[in-house]
Structure 1
Amino acid sequence: MLCALGLVAVYLLAGAAWLQDKTTGTAHDRAGRLGRPLLVAVAAAGLVLGFGLRVADPQHLRFDQPLRATLFGLAVAVAVVCASIAWYGFGRRPDWRPFVAVAGTEAAGLLAIVAATAPVVVPPGLTVHAAASPHGSQLFLLIGVGGCMPVVLTYNIYAWWVFRGKFAQPTAGTEAAVPSDSTTAAERPTAVASATEDGPWAAVVVRRVLLTLLAVAVAAVSQDIFGGVRAWIDPAGVAVFSVTALALWIRSDRRSAAAGDFNLQAAEK
């Protein structure tokens, strides 16, 4: 539970740093104000979890070994320096500095955990060698991951390129402008839909939650988590359900978008 709360704090901190780097206006200012309190929360979680790890599993934290102690101390020092840079950078320019510093803090923290616990990966005694899968499984994963990784890197690089720079709210009057026939699709402003009530938004949220819960239930049944009910569904059934649920999700979102449920400017009015 403490690890889960600490992870939530880390993600909130990274989100605040990212928003300062990628936004302007109200979101930018709010992220700058929230960054330092979140940094304090992450530091507190790191201290509690660090000392808690030693209390819960002291036999594997052999800091009497010089190399282990040195690597752990260096990683902690780097994390402290990066956290200090992030503290100074929140609310100040350049806006990219807090995010880079937060990423450095997270990386250094993970390296500190590795230095303190290696070769144990799951306390109290499951080591890397004991947890390793058979050679055939490792070879299969190597080929699968090796083949997919270039695709993953490509679409991530493309997404970073598309969303480069800062997001800024359109100036007043831009939404009401009527595009001419010569205006390109990228230059046409988004039409402002009529103001929506909470009803459509509530329906969208309920629909997504129900689809997600149904997907989790089907996956649990297919893995025989409940025991004795796996015969109800087979891989073909899982595939059919997944495709159907995705089609319904996309169709419902398209209808909601056409109705103006996702128009923030209209909702604010």
Structure 2
Amino acid sequence: MPALYAPITIMLLGLIFRGVAFEFRWKTKRGQFLWDWAFAGGSTIAAFAQGVALGALVQGIPVVGRAYSGGWWDWLTPFSLLTGLALVIGYALLGATWLIWKTENHVQRRAYDIAFWVAPATLVLIGLVSAWTPFLNAVYMQKWFSWPHVLLAIPIPALVLVAAFILLKGLTERREASPFLASLSLFVLCFIGLGISFYPHIVPNSVTIWDAAAPDNSLAFLLVGAVVLVPIILAYTAYSYWVFRGKVNAVGGYH
């Protein structure tokens, strides 16, 4: 965790600033545009810092004796900056396609305009990050291109191409649901690819899943809580999506 203190702290500050801006923009009319910019800025900073932290994790964190052995600025590299930018653009795509699905009229048209720009940018950035990642670590190179590991890895780029085709086709044909579902699929596929690259490590080349695991008693206690809470959370989430399944109209209601 000390390796990522800086980006995580920046991310939390961005989230706090966003929350404050979201609250105060309703308290003023004259300065509302300032709080709008503050909300957008806090969101962008939080997303960028999250991407930087992810990039720093992917490139590897040196650990000696279960303690971080790197420097304060190891997280700040060209690769982590690229992943930060990629996550900002990717989140913009998710937001735009969600608005396409859930809104209409001028808001939906504006979301289409944004999606037409950020969709190709997201695909290009996915390609750049994917092309760079194997050269960060020999283990990644082996898991992506050596036999039989390639059998697990090769479906991911194929499915990414399918999702990209559905995304661009959906935007071109002005479809509403398929662009969001395709964008969501891109994120899921990227994280599956990340999981294939990491396993069995939770911190690449330093800490395995088993090294990081809590004692069996603690895990058993958490399992009991998860068995009870996860179904409740899933049911509540499904119910929320069902209740708000329609489109937002001009006065903020659903239909």
Normalised-by-shorter TM-score class: 0.5 to 0.7
- In structure 2, the CA distance between the partners of 1:48 and 1:65, relative to structure 1 (3 Å rule), is same
Q: Which residue is equivalent to 2:239?
A: 158
* Unaligned 5+ runs, structure 1: 176-185, 187-269
Q: Does 1:48 align with 2:125?
A: no
Q: Does 1:106 align with 2:190?
A: no
Shift of 1:93: 4.1
Determine which of 137, 143, 149 is the counterpart of 1:68.
Answer: 149
Judge conservation of contact 1:25–1:168 (CA < 8 Å) in 2: no
Shift of 1:13: 0.9
Q: Does 1:120 align with 2:120?
A: no
Q: Which residue is equivalent to 1:25?
A: 105
Q: Which residue is equivalent to 2:248?
A: 167
Q: Which residue is equivalent to 2:118?
A: 38
- In structure 2, the CA distance between the partners of 1:150 and 1:117, relative to structure 1 (3 Å rule), is closer
- In structure 2, the CA distance between the partners of 1:95 and 1:57, relative to structure 1 (3 Å rule), is same
Judge conservation of contact 2:163–2:182 (CA < 8 Å) in 1: yes
Q: Which residue is equivalent to 1:195?
A: none
Deviates more, 1:115-124 or 1:159-168: 115-124
Determine which of 157, 163, 174 is the counterpart of 1:82.
Answer: 163
Report the TM-score, using the length of structure 2 for normalisation: 0.61
Shift of 1:126: 2.0
Shift of 1:12: 1.2
Find the structure with the greater CA-based Rg: 1
1:121 is paired with a residue whose SS is: strand
> Runs in 1 of length 4+ with deviation above 6 angstroms?
none
1:89 is paired with a residue whose SS is: helix
Report the TM-score, using the length of structure 1 for normalisation: 0.58
Deviates more, 1:2-11 or 1:141-150: 2-11
Judge conservation of contact 1:17–1:98 (CA < 8 Å) in 2: yes
Determine which of 143, 147, 152 is the counterpart of 2:224.
Answer: 143
Shift of 1:160: 0.8
Judge conservation of contact 1:6–1:46 (CA < 8 Å) in 2: yes
Letter of the structure 1 residue corresponding to residue 105 of structure 2: G
Distance 2:140 2:206 in 1: 8
Percentage identity across paired residues of the two chains: 27
Letter of the structure 1 residue corresponding to residue 234 of structure 2: L
Distance 2:200 2:249 in 1: 47
Judge conservation of contact 1:80–1:105 (CA < 8 Å) in 2: no
Q: Structure 1, residues 196-237: CA drift from partner, whole Å, max 9, x if none?
A: xxxxxxxxxxxxxxxxxxxxxxxxxxxxxxxxxxxxxxxxxx
Distance 1:19 1:108 in 2: 22
* Unaligned 5+ runs, structure 2: 1-51, 53-80
- In structure 2, the CA distance between the partners of 1:28 and 1:64, relative to structure 1 (3 Å rule), is closer
Distance 2:104 2:201 in 1: 44
Letter of the structure 1 residue corresponding to residue 197 of structure 2: A
Judge conservation of contact 1:33–1:90 (CA < 8 Å) in 2: no
Q: Structure 1, residues 30-66: CA drift from partner, whole Å, max 9, x if none?
A: 1112113212222232233223322222234314532
Judge conservation of contact 1:60–1:120 (CA < 8 Å) in 2: no
Distance 1:9 1:158 in 2: 30
Shift of 1:112: 1.8
Letter of the structure 1 residue corresponding to residue 179 of structure 2: P
Alignment of 1:185-200 (within 5 A): none
Distance 1:138 1:108 in 2: 28
- In structure 2, the CA distance between the partners of 1:68 and 1:150, relative to structure 1 (3 Å rule), is same
Distance 1:15 1:25 in 2: 17
